[in-house]
Amino acid sequence: MQQPPLRLIASNHPTPKEPAGQDAVFEFIEEHDFDGVDMDWEFPVTQTDMDNFGLLLDRRVESINNNLDWINAMCYDYHGSWDVSATGTLAALYDPNGDVSTSDGLQSWIDAGIQPEKLIMGLPLYGRTWKLKNPAVHGIGAPAVGLGPGNDGAMLYSEVQTFNAKNKATVVFDKPTVSYYSFSGTSWIGYDDVDL
């Protein structure tokens, strides 16, 4: 489900006389004997969206634990084409300077009451690219002036590998975030590598 339907469902808070939108979704699943639903909201845009999505899931924690086999948590796209002023990790395991990381995200599900064994860590099979402002400044958070190579600042993992080989890119493993990035000239790519 994409916006606005999921936005409407999440914003429909239940009243005594009217079932919540999410209740209607679960009733529809049962009525038509579906195996489940993929609530893939990419991405809640406003703080209200985030709050409502949290409320939607909060009302379902007991139901999730009792009825869902698993939750596929998107543990990637922490930075990308929507944030072109600086390079960023695609899927940092840790964030030493904040709380935008896979470990923090998964812990928030657990803190909300979701059973850890139901969580599946989603991984990206692509990279996000930026054009560096200054090729000599190339770490995570380096100033950028726009998107780098690829389709809208994205490259498949195989394209990242080809780019790195063809351009003799410098590949860096960033220990604090447990993530990879590469750079060549003004091109910078954040990605996950099979060596993680």
- Please identify every residue annotated as catalytic: 42
How does DSSP assign 111-173, residue by residue?
A: HTT--GGGEEEE--SEEEEEEES-TT--STT-BEEEE-SSBTTEEEHHHHHHHHHHTTPEEEE
Count the Cβ atoms, other than its own, within 10 Å of residue 149.
20
Phi, psi of 184 (to 5 degrees): -155, 120
Residue where the block lists tokens 């909201």: 41
Tokens of 195: 């060596």
Phi, psi of 71 (to 5 degrees): -125, 125
Q: How far apart are CA 27 and CA 14, in angstroms?
A: 15
